[in-house]
A and B are shown apart, each in its own frame.
Chain A
């Protein structure tokens, strides 16, 4: 089994079939475990307003490791990257858009819509 099967478009084996070595999976696994420990440890330290950003930064890092290596995005066609990017963009739009509306209500004294 070649590490890179560089077959042409009509070849029998898919061209982007990149067989990731087991050691890579184990390294990613260990990083994810360390990240989990860091998240819990950081939550017991008073970082003021930074507790949540730190927790989210670790979570995003862990998610990137899973997507790139476990889900093979690193070795996948750019078309798939576009779809992942689009999904993240839409999610950000959803949260930022709705959040901006609620913030504006507070600034304009339109009353708290949540009560």
Chain B
């Protein structure tokens, strides 16, 4: 741990994890956190463009959106919400363990987070397969025949409601796809952190990479907290 600082500045000059262009570890850590929060601010607007499209089209095409939403499996959506919240807890506990220098606990919680994230993606695959099976993927093969309107009647292909429901599924796949992509990117990063933690690279003085990975993972959880009611729970009335 101390060989770098000894060669550069003599014994005990500063911890080896401190980069030279930072004044102190605090300065370094706050810079890293600020960088991550700026990235998250950008991510909010990244999803925000699609959420704006969702807001506009849901108000213009309410019946089609309600018909599309009612096809989604609320049980699977609820289970996935719970799975993702569990993974946020294990992530928070992983960061906590890293801050206390508990190496084995850090690795354990990070691996649990990966496992829960994988369960979420697995359930998502089951849901996507159902949409393909029912021809609900937007495009030339789209069919609204499996959808039901507010009166329980089938939605006829070629109707306005069918076209509007196709817009719902376009936004459903865009939003959940972008969300899933964030998780697919997040899981290898958490695995990388688990490996570094197992090598003893983190402790009370320096665990910023784990904390920043946690920020990313919690942000992805927050996105889902909004996507779940917006996509799965559109009421037929109103």
How distant is the Cα of A90 from the Cα of B38 in the complex, in angstroms?
13
Q: A14-B30, A91-B44 are in contact. List 18 more A-B contacts (CB 8 A).
A: A13-B205, A16-B30, A19-B96, A25-B89, A43-B235, A51-B238, A55-B229, A59-B226, A63-B222, A66-B88, A67-B222, A70-B214, A70-B218, A80-B37, A84-B41, A90-B45, A98-B55, A99-B52
Inter-chain contact B233/A40, CB cutoff 8 Å: yes
Among B15, B33, B44, B91, contact of A12 (Cβ-Cβ < 8 Å): B15
| Residues A13 and B238 in contact in the complex (CB < 8 Å), given A63-B225, A91-B44, A94-B52 | no
- Measured between C-beta atoms, what is the minimum distance from A86 to chain B in Å? 6
B26 in the interface (beta carbon within 8 A): yes
Inter-chain contact A40/B100, CB cutoff 8 Å: no
Inter-chain contact B60/A102, CB cutoff 8 Å: yes
Inter-chain contact B237/A80, CB cutoff 8 Å: no
Query: A: which residues have CB within 8 A of B?
Result: 1, 7, 9-17, 19-20, 22, 25-26, 28-29, 32-33, 36, 39-40, 43, 46, 48-49, 51-52, 55-56, 58-59, 62-63, 66-67, 69-72, 76-77, 79-80, 83-84, 86-88, 90-91, 94-95, 98-99, 102, 112, 114
B57 in the interface (beta carbon within 8 A): yes
Task: Name the A residues within 8 Å of B37 (CB-CB).
Answer: 80, 83-84
- Measured between C-beta atoms, what is the minimum distance from B219 to chain A in Å? 8
| Interface stretch (choices B78-86, B118-126, B139-147, B192-200) | B78-86
Number of residue pairs spanning A and B whose beta carbons lie under 8 angstroms apart:
163
Inter-chain contact A59/B56, CB cutoff 8 Å: no
B residues 1-52 touching A (CB-CB < 8 Å): 15, 23-27, 29-30, 33-34, 37-38, 40-42, 44-45, 48-49, 51-52
Query: B: which residues have CB within 8 A of A?
Result: 15, 23-27, 29-30, 33-34, 37-38, 40-42, 44-45, 48-49, 51-52, 55-57, 59-61, 74, 78, 81-82, 85-86, 88-89, 91-93, 96, 99-101, 204-205, 211, 214-215, 218-219, 221-222, 225-226, 228-230, 233, 235, 237-238
Task: Name the A residues within 8 Å of B85 (CB-CB).
Answer: 29, 32-33, 36
In chain A, what residue has the closest Cβ to B215?
A71
Among A12, A26, A95, A112, contact of B52 (Cβ-Cβ < 8 Å): A95
Q: Which residue of A33, A67, A76, A83 has the most chain B CB atoms within 10 A of its CB atom?
A: A83
